[in-house]
Amino acid sequence: MSRYADAAREIRYLRERADAIRTRAASPASSKLDGMPRAPGFAGDKLGGIIGTADALEREADEKEQDAAALYAEIDGAIRKIGGKHGGERRTVLQCRYLDGQGWSGVIYLLFGDRVDFTDKEDSFQRRVFNTHKAALEDLAQILYPSEGDRKSDYEGACYYRITRCPICIYAEKRGVCELMPLFCQLDGVMIALQHGVLHRRQTLANGGDYCDYYITGNRE
């Protein structure tokens, strides 16, 4: 879901850049450039290049939008499978938050804004939305990764996290220093141990896994 949010932001940024470039190209100043005498056709060539840049940004946005649409359909399809007594509210929270890009205040208002006691109990409604969000993510994890539920039983009382995007790993790839990643991954275990926890992990993004799985148990009774 974070991948879709990132894609939506990037598409919006590309289109805003293209619009800004076209606005500058259409301004009177653009036709004069810097006011210095130039060879015939210079201004037109430069203006054409500016417009060409805007067109290229639009094409890139269109391509990314197709990928984002497929990702949207995949996420929406999974969310719609959430059922049960509270399924409707859980589906709404995930759809508003991740597909519609609503902030938390918008999600809370959408669900409870029409209540006469909304102003007096806004903090209570906020806690309810956060709890609903947590439960919805757990439902979604069971739908997408049913086998993980069996594995979690191996670590009774464990906290579980699934990391699908690592900014440290991305940065290391850009800098060509991926050989350092095992050191960073080992630090996870060290930091968790300092907090009296034990990290159980089967795979990481750095070693070619689809995600980093964290099962954290306590090291004390």
Cβ atoms of 157 and 218 closer than 8 Å: yes
Share of the chain above pLDDT 90, in %: 14
Domain ranges within the chain, ordered by starting residue: 1-33+40-79, 81-144, 153-221
Q: What are the residue ranges in the chain where pLDDT is below 50?
A: 33-34, 36, 39, 41-43
pLDDT digits (tens, 9 = 90+) for 39-65: 454 445 566 677 788 888 888 989 888
Interatomic CA distance for residues 144 and 198, integer angstroms: 26
Exposed, middle or buried by CB within 10 Å (0-12, 13-18, 19+), for 129?
A: buried
Cβ atoms of 54 and 25 closer than 8 Å: yes
Two structure tokens written together for 197: 């926890």
pLDDT digits (tens, 9 = 90+) for 126-156: 999 999 998 888 888 778 766 555 555 566 6
Query: Which residue reads 């879901």 in tokens?
Result: 1
Report the predicted TM-score, pTM, of the whole model to 2 decimal places: 0.55
Q: Is the dihedral of CA 137, 173, 5, 144 positive or negative?
A: negative
Please give the pLDDT value at position 34: 47
For residue 178, give the DSSP letter.
Answer: G
